[in-house]
Structures are given as structure tokens and as C-alpha cells.
Structure 1
């Protein structure tokens, strides 16, 4: 390491003697060189008079580290004006991997600071790039070495890295116990949609930490999607849920741990409670990394991102971990979208802004009516004000323990609301009420009423017709193809240039000759996803002319 003088010395200093020679074995606190400094001091004489006198003070500089002195950067008689490198010392341990304040290689305490240093050894390894542990850190050189090895391994297997979000990207989660009831009722109109929903219980989560059952719906086609994409990408989970939640989801989507393995990053290890950052996993470069997420804002719309249409299977539930994400801007749903779901999304039972439509007056069945608690929750006045929590997050307080507690409490309240209000059941009741109102006006229904048949549902709340993963797989495959097409092209050009140089060609590229085993050649030619993907996105609307409704009204026939 290069030995840097501390800033606390009395500069300028003048070197009087080099006390160690190159190749000497230097112990910690051993004298390295002697020097003197000059300063003005106050001295008194025998008459009690004080005078300002300039004096020289000789002293020695002691080595803050142990090792072999390989070279001096200073010489005898040299005046040093400020903190500079004075020597190079080869240490027996670089302390490049640390865990919990200790060096993982030699066991030394990294938090110790001595009188002749300005830094702790802990500052040598500040990069956290391990998925499941914040205490394990590495140095910049070690991080670069690890990433180079990973990139070489991926290039040899012709794979890229894919960072995968969970909630509303590949799964949708709720804690509404209505799902379990519908799974047990084969006559329920939502039975077919929920029969394959899986569930697990987390004992350390939920209201008052009493434990909570989570119901998980896999996005249609997920198994095939993961199997196909895992041939092209090495997959990492990155979620704003807790680690226990993330591991439970991974056990469902990847039971044999062949796709994600231990590559799971949750908010417990993320380093941020409000945003996601690729540097947490790839601190050196992100040239070979692609992201899929339904939220682009948490990534600050990174060029590595493929924005996914949110998977909203459990109508009105949204992202179960949304309290740890920036608040999304709400847009009023179009009539066409509401018709497709069969429910007006503005009447969201959980945190909704619109009062649910009243039941038809002819329905006197008290069991089908919303409880007063449901109405109180639903009738919350709409507001556009930013909450105190959101203000703290926007001011950068999202990693503060107090904000973490507030966000956790907010999530617990949301889960408790789902458990108590049962929003899915209430929305289905609204659909049933609409069916009843329509049937009362239908003369053909008289016979059905006489038979007393209670299985009269015609509409089901949940739609299991999402096809997003088909398009996403196509996009990821195209990104992979474009990347390696660019890489192969650069590799062929580089090899051709070296052949021409050996032959003495006029236009030979002057590249340094390397053996085939030298992986730095490949790494130098690696394309950048952040360049490739934006170019691909630009081609999406190529040749398309956009005309807004201010020019052509909605519903107008543009051919006339």
C-alpha cells in the first residue's frame, strides 16, 4: 500500500534521515524517518518577560502498518508541505475482505485508529456486494476482481444478469382471507382463478407481529418464463419486501433453487428503504445487467430497465409492500379498463378515494351489505396532500430508523385493513348486487327464483388472462440476441485486426498481442446494455405518427 502522511502533522516538515531501507521488514510503530518542523512558541526570561521565538522540533514518523518497505517516495533534506505519499509498503494482508469490523483474512480489528493515522482499516473495504449480508464488505480491487470473474463466467456461458422484482412483476400477493374461502368453494365464480393460489405464513410479520397468511398468485406462464429465460440470464431477486418474505416467494417460484439460488436481495440488505440501486449488486459496472420491474421510478428510470405492466390480479390490492416505495401518481381508470375488470377501480376498498355504489334498495339481505367499518374505511375523503412520512422520504430520510418504523407501521395498517375489510369479498358483493338488480328486471328469472337456486353468479371479480410474460420473454430474448451479436462482432473485428497486424496489413489495428487465455481481451470488448437497450426502445415507434385527441377526437373514424 502507499503510505500517506496524516494531515495532523505540523507542516511544513523537513526530512532529516531515512531510518529504513528498501526490502526491510518494518514492524508497526517502527520509526520510518526522522524530520523536524518549525513553529513559533512563547518563552519567558528570568525577568518574567515573554517573547515569541521560532524553534525547531525534531521527531520521527512511525509506521502505522507492518510489512516490507518496497520503495521510498521521499528523500533526505526534502521539505514536505502537506499530506503526500512517502513510501510503499507491501503488507502481509490487504484486509480486502471484512466482516463485522474484522478482517476475514487475518482476523485483525479493522475499527482501530492509531495516533499517527487519519483513517481506520475499515475504510479499505466499504463495498457491499453480497446479497444476504450487510456486514460482509470488500475493497474496490476485490470487487473489481469478483465482477471480472463473474463477467468471464457469464460470457463463457453466453448469459447476461437479470434483476427481477417480485410484487406485481412476476407475482401478486394479498392477505385477504377471502381467497382461501373461494378456493374451498367450487361453486364460487372466482374458483377457477384462485384454485392454484399458494399460501404461506410469516410469524414475524403482520399486524402486531402475530403472524400473517400471504396468498400468492403466480403470473400466468411464470414457470415456462423462468425456465426459458434462465438459459439466457443469471437471475437475481431484488424486492422491497423483507428477507423472510422474499425467501418464501422464492421457495414457491423456484422450489429446487436452480434459477435464483441464494441470489436474493431484500429491503433488509438493500441499503435503502425507498429506492433500488444496481450498484448494490454490481458496484463496478452494469454493462451486462438487465432489470425487469413494474416500477420505473424506484430505479430512477435506469437505461438497464424494462418496465413491466403491473400484475394486478387481486383487484384493488396493489403492491403489498408499497409503503416502502415512493407514492405513485394515481390516474383515473378509463371506461374500457373498468369494463374489462367488471369493477370501478375508483371504489377501491383499501385506501380508496370513491364511495362504493349503494346496494339496490330491493336487496334486504343484511349479509350482503357492507359493514359500518367497511364504509368508514371506504369513505375516506380524497386528499392530494403529501403525508409527513412521504415528506421525510422525499427529503432523504427514507433510511432513518424512525422512518423505517413509520413505514413498517403503515404497512401493518394496510395488512390489518385487508384482514378486517376483506376488499375482495366486498368487491364481489358489489358485482353480485349488480347481477341481482339486473335479474329483478328480467322476466325470465321468475323460474329461477321459484327453484330457490342460490348459484346465480354471472360475473367473477378476478381475471386470469394476463399474457405479459409472453411479451416480456420476447423482449428479453431480443436484448440477449442484440448484446451477443454486438459482442461477437467486436470480438471478430478484434481478432481480424490482430491477424492483419501479424501479416503487416496496411490498415491493421494496433492492438496489443495477447494469448487466447487472456480474458482481458473479452472484457475490453463487452458492449454496454445501457447503450443497446435505449437504441432498441427508439425503434418501437419508428415510422409511427402520433396524433393526440386534441386533433382527432376519441372514437372518431380516421378513415373518413
Structure 2
């Protein structure tokens, strides 16, 4: 696995001069619009960026069966044929390393967040703990009335370290791209655990549900961790492990104008800027003693062991006996 690659990388996906696959620097080459390389007379247009096939240079209709994968690189589209092939290849590489794929929800799973202006009185002291406590962070949100305070779930660091040895990890969240990137950097500042595998709301074709169609791995080897089952397409729910939602902050019931603004923003721009649904703002059952991630880690270790040592090579069978 660590030896030289038999088939050199084709550098089909690049971002800011860096190959998204092998991470090597690629000198940018600009192809004139409409120019087709005659050495590829039967090009299937598997990969396109900015409407141009990365292989032959011909213009590609982005609506012609191409699936957007902006989380890999900006304005990148892959054909269904290529997606299927990549899912198979990525899974085989993972199996060779004894790794499955793990898709993690972000908010209310790995962390909780709240606008500082909406903090309840009992939580306002946490603003002064930013920079003192490792599990309390803060970031500025565009077009927001105040900064956002983030509380990372207890044992998140140990969970990510140990899960990384068993899984290729992805984040899939209903947050917007800028917010999700800010929060993922808090969990993984060096990009060791997630890399560019951060899928957000606007990446999905069906904005009503999350889908494993955007995860480059075969469904039989993918485990989903989310607190909300109905957020996923029905066909993907057999891959799901539900986790107790992490709701650390107690939202201030006042501030009606701010709440109304968030509601309108959510409806108009399809961006999740409201508290997680079904949250009781007066609920007081959360504390720093939350052990859900450690309990989850035990379950994931068991699934990993049974997958690679048992007769079944489908996590859906293990999750739904």
C-alpha cells in the first residue's frame, strides 16, 4: 500500500494548482473554449470543471447527467459512471487499509453552537472562557448580528483520533459552507481527519434530505452518525446510527426580532441558522459529563471488528440484524 503507484495520477481534479487526488502541484493549463484534444475521440467526459471536460477540453453541459461535487473542488461535476467507479475504487482502497467510511453530522452531534446575543444568562460566562478552555470556541458569522459561540462535545478529540484508525471520515451538515468550514477547523485544524470531505446543504441535489450519493464510497461500507433520522433519504437510513443530540446551550427565549430574522433567512436562502428542531430551550439535562461519543466509539469498534472478521461485508446487515 505504501509503495509507488502503478498507475500515475491523471490530475483530473485540481484546486488552486494542487491536485485533489495526489496533492502534487500542477502547472495550470488554460484550454481555449471549444478546443477538443483529438487524442481522446471517444471521451466520456467523466470529470468537468467550470463546464469544461478535464480530459479532452470540450465544453460539457452541466445539466447533461453531471453531478455537482463542489466540496471536492469549486464548480466540479462528475458523471454518474465516474461516481460509481470512484465509489468502488475508494472502498477497495479503504478495505485494503482495513477502513470503512464514517459520515458524521456536525451540529448537535460533534458540537453545539449559539449566537452570543441569544445566550441564556447561565451561559454568558462562557464567552470569557474562549482561549482558556479547549472545548469553547468563537467565530464571526457573515451577516449575523453577533459572533457565534461553539461548545465542542466532550471526548471529541479522543473520538476522532481513534475513529481515524478505523474509518475514512466525512462531515455532512445542513449548515452553510462558510459556517461548516469554520466549525470543522475547530475540530480538525490541521485537516488530518476530514481533509476536504465536508459536504454541506447546498451540495445536495435534493435539499430536503441528505444523501450517500455524494459520498465517494460504496453504501455497504458506510456508517452514518446523526441525531435526526428523517434528515436522510429513506434508502440511506439503514446505514444510520442515531446519537443523542448534544444541546449544551440554553437559548434565550427573548429576542423575537432576531429569531424572526433567522426564520426568514432559513426559508429564503435554505440555510440552517435556527436552533436544532425539537429543542427545549429550558431543558437542563446536558452537562460536561456527556459520554455519547465514547459510547458511539465502542459501537463503531464492534462494527469494524465484525465487518472485517465476520461473514458479512455489509454494514447494513450489522446495523439491522
TM-score (normalizing by structure 1): 0.43
Instruction: State whether structure 2 residue 307 is matched by structure 1 residue 307.
Output: no
Q: How does 1:501-516 map to 2 (within 5 A)?
A: none
Counterpart of 1:224 in structure 2 is: 158
- Quote the Cα distance in structure 2 between the aligned partners of 1:205 and 1:281: 30
Deviation at 1:135, TM superposition (A): 3.0
Instruction: State whether structure 2 residue 141 is matched by structure 1 residue 206.
Output: no
**Which deviations, in whole Å up to 9, do the C-alpha atoms of 1:223-275 show, x marking residues without a partner?**
00110111000100100001111111111101111111111111122233331
Counterpart of 1:110 in structure 2 is: 60
Contact 1:128 1:134 in 2 (8 A): no
Structure 2 unmatched runs, 5+: 1-35, 258-262
Counterpart of 2:126 in structure 1 is: 183
Counterpart of 2:7 in structure 1 is: none
Counterpart of 2:226 in structure 1 is: 293
- Quote the Cα distance in structure 1 between the aligned partners of 2:127 and 2:152: 19
Find the residue that maps to 2:140 and give its secondary structure: strand
Q: How does 1:395-474 map to 2 (within 5 A)?
A: 405=268, 407-408=270-271, 411=273, 414=274, 463-474=287-298
Instruction: State whether structure 2 residue 136 is matched by structure 1 residue 197.
Output: yes
Deviation at 1:131, TM superposition (A): 2.6
Counterpart of 2:47 in structure 1 is: 97
Contact 2:127 2:149 in 1 (8 A): no
Counterpart of 1:233 in structure 2 is: 167
**Which deviations, in whole Å up to 9, do the C-alpha atoms of 1:13-35 show, x marking residues without a partner?**
xxxxxxxxxxxxxxxxxxxxxxx
TM-score (normalizing by structure 2): 0.72
Counterpart of 1:499 in structure 2 is: none
Which one scores higher on RCO, CA 8 angstroms, separation ≥ 6? Answer: 2
**Which deviations, in whole Å up to 9, do the C-alpha atoms of 1:211-233 show, x marking residues without a partner?**
x3111111111100110111000
Instruction: State whether structure 2 residue 100 is matched by structure 1 residue 157.
Output: no
Change (3 A) 1:462 1:485: closer
Deviation at 1:176, TM superposition (A): 2.8
- Quote the Cα distance in structure 2 between the aligned partners of 1:375 and 1:239: 26
Deviation at 1:93, TM superposition (A): 2.5
Specify the structure having the higher radius of gyration (Cα): 1
Counterpart of 2:27 in structure 1 is: none
Contact 2:91 2:218 in 1 (8 A): no
- Quote the Cα distance in structure 1 between the aligned partners of 2:127 and 2:81: 57
**Which deviations, in whole Å up to 9, do the C-alpha atoms of 1:433-464 show, x marking residues without a partner?**
xxxxxxxxxxxxxxxxxxxxxxxxxxx99622
- Quote the Cα distance in structure 2 between the aligned partners of 1:206 and 1:300: 31
**Which deviations, in whole Å up to 9, do the C-alpha atoms of 1:79-119 show, x marking residues without a partner?**
xxxxxxxxxxx8342222122322121221224xxxxxxxx
Structure 1 unmatched runs, 5+: 1-64, 69-89, 112-120, 318-348, 351-373, 378-388, 390-401, 416-422, 429-459, 491-526, 536-560
